[in-house]
């Protein structure tokens, strides 16, 4: 079972070893002000990740992103590709939900969702 963490509620650090692609990042998307879970029914969910300098590590896309079988739960996972986790370091991750051409980014507060890739 994959742990679900609430994005926008508190900082979350997902620790993974360099090159590991088996354990996905799993979160529940919530709106910051209302604290309500995002209903992802018929919405596009994408993921991107940057390093501490703002350099893109994982370009925004839906590759490896899966919405829970019940999209009303707001639960999503990101399964990493080899290239996503080939460099050790701390990276800041974001999910972007798109509806009718309008984007909403989670977490709203930057640097709250951290993917920590451990080196050898």
The per-residue pLDDT for 112 is 84
Give pTM, 2 decimals.
0.88
In the chain, the N- to C-terminal Cα span, in Å, equals: 26
CATH of domain 5-118: 2.60.40.3350
What confidence score (pLDDT) does residue 110 get? Answer: 67
Question: Are the CB atoms for 8 and 110 separated by under 8 Å?
Answer: no
Q: How far is CA 25 from CA 33, 78, 100, 101, 110, in A?
A: 23, 5, 26, 25, 17
Distance, in Å, from the CA atom of 73 to the CA atom of 75, rounded to the nearest integer, reads: 5
36: DSSP letter:
P
* pLDDT at residue number 12: 84
pLDDT of residue 15: 94
Show pLDDT as tens, one digit a residue, over the chain (120 residues).
344 544 544 578 899 999 999 999 999 999 888 889 999 999 999 999 999 899 999 999 999 999 999 999 999 999 999 999 999 999 999 999 999 999 999 987 767 899 999 997
Q: Where are the domains of the chain?
A: 5-118
């Amino acid at each position: 079972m994959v742990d679900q963490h609430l994005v926008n509620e508190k900082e979350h650090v997902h620790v993974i070893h360099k090159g590991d692609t088996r354990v996905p990042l799993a979160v529940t998307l919530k709106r910051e002000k209302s604290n309500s879970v995002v209903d992802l029914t018929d919405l596009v969910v994408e993921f991107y990740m940057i390093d501490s300098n703002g350099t893109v590590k994982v370009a925004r896309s839906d590759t490896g992103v899966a919405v829970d079988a019940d999209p009303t739960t707001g639960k999503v996972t990101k399964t990493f590709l080899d290239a996503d986790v080939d460099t050790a370091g701390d990276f800041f991750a974001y999910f972007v939900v798109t509806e009718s051409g309008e984007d909403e980014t989670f977490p709203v507060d930057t640097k709250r969702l951290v993917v920590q890739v451990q080196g050898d």
